[in-house]
Amino acid sequence: MLYGKLIVRTVDEGTLGVVAAGDSVGEDALFATEYYVREETCVAEAKSCVLVFERTKLEDLKNWLMSIGLKSDYLLLVSIFRKCYDKKKAWRRAQSLI
């Protein structure tokens, strides 16, 4: 997310948390190894701008960055996605959703 504020919600449980600049949403679908059903939705609390990464395009980006010697940039991007995934997993655990 480049800027703004999104509220992450579930249909049954209400608000899980808030994401802001530097966070991501939907990143778990990028790394899922099987069919993935999204359990949450996001609602903009303020003007927001997000970037969209499709799984195939992320793989293309990885291959390109590796080919030009920027492996560390790809690993940084993945670590940001992982941090955001872990944060949302903690929200789900706190509300006994997992």
Tens digits of per-residue pLDDT, 32-44? 777 777 788 999 9
Q: Do residues 22 and 80 lie in contact, with contact meaning Cβ atoms separated by under 8 Å?
A: yes
Alpha-carbon span 72 to 86, nearest angstrom: 21
Alpha-carbon span 50 to 67, nearest angstrom: 27
Tens digits of per-residue pLDDT, 9-61? 988 878 999 999 999 998 888 877 777 777 889 999 999 999 888 888 889 99
Tens digits of per-residue pLDDT, 60-83? 999 999 999 999 999 999 999 999
Give the angle 19-26-2 at the CA atoms, nearest 5°: 45
Question: What's the pTM value of the predicted model, to 2 decimals?
Answer: 0.81
Q: Do residues 18 and 60 lie in contact, with contact meaning Cβ atoms separated by under 8 Å?
A: no
pLDDT at 7 over 90: yes
pLDDT at residue number 34: 77
- Residue found by looking up tokens 């999204």 in the block: 38
**In terms of DSSP H, where are the helices of the chain?**
27-31, 55-67, 71-94
